[in-house]
Amino acid sequence: MLTFGAVGDTGYDIMLFLHILTMFAAFAPAFIIPFIDNGTRSPADASVRQRFFQIYAPNARRIHGGTLILGGLLGFGVAGMSDEVFKLSEPWLAISVVLWVAMNGVLHAVIAPTERAIAEGDETNASRLEQGGAIMTVLFLATLYLMVFQPGQ
């Protein structure tokens, strides 16, 4: 079996660092956008709001979406390198994978389309941005809990 590193080796530590870094970048918008969203909802701020989302929405797909996918794939790498310590079939890790898939679904099916619509001046479903962000936050916190405490390990 080809091994790139075991838990605690330099290769493993680099993979873990990159996994954490990309997930941190993936969720940075989840902490910032609600403030911008709520702060620009008045009719007086409509043009500022639309301009912000015109700049942000195309970049969000690249940054937010890309880092969420890459972070999850790096997580698979970390799990693969940890094969002697824990298996992907362990409930806490399997549930984390399901939550990651759900986060990608919420991001790409709810948040990104809503941001694009706001950028085009369509505010009819703007509340979906807040709802999607709340769902992403809950999924993120649940995944973080599983990653830190590894229940059942």
Domain boundaries, the chain: 10-148
Map residue 6 onto helix, strand or coil.
coil
Residues whose CB falls within 8 Å of the CB of residue 88, separated by 6 or more in sequence, listed in order: 76, 79, 80, 94, 97
Tens-place pLDDT, residues 48-107 = 889 999 999 988 888 889 999 999 999 999 988 887 788 888 999 999 999 999 999 999
pLDDT confidence of 4, banded at 50, 70, 90? Answer: low
One-letter amino acid for residue 84 of the chain: E
Residues whose CB falls within 8 Å of the CB of residue 103, separated by 6 or more in sequence, listed in order: 68, 136, 139, 140, 143
Mean local confidence (pLDDT), 2-17: 76
- Whether residue 2 is predicted with pLDDT greater than 90 in this model: the reply is no
Tokens 């590193």 belong to residue: 5
Question: What's the pLDDT at 80?
Answer: 86
Percentage of the chain beyond pLDDT 70 is 95
Mean local confidence (pLDDT), 133-138: 94
Question: What's the pLDDT at 1?
Answer: 44
pTM: 0.86
Q: In this structure, how many other beta carbons lie within 10 angstroms of the beta carbon of residue 100?
A: 21
**Cα 73 from Cα 65, distance rounded (Å):** 13
Transcribe 74-111 into DSSP letters: HHHHHHHHTTTT--TTSHHHHHHHHHHHHHHHHIIIII
Mean local confidence (pLDDT), 99-125: 94
CA–chain centroid gap for 27, Å, is: 5
pLDDT confidence of 142, banded at 50, 70, 90? Answer: very high
Residues whose CB falls within 8 Å of the CB of residue 133, separated by 6 or more in sequence, listed in order: 30, 33, 34, 37, 111
Mean local confidence (pLDDT), 2-8: 60
**Cα 127 from Cα 54, distance rounded (Å):** 18
Mean local confidence (pLDDT), 11-24: 93
**Cα 128 from Cα 46, distance rounded (Å):** 17
Computed from CA positions of residues 114, 118, 119, 120, in that sequence, does the dihedral angle turn out positive or negative? positive
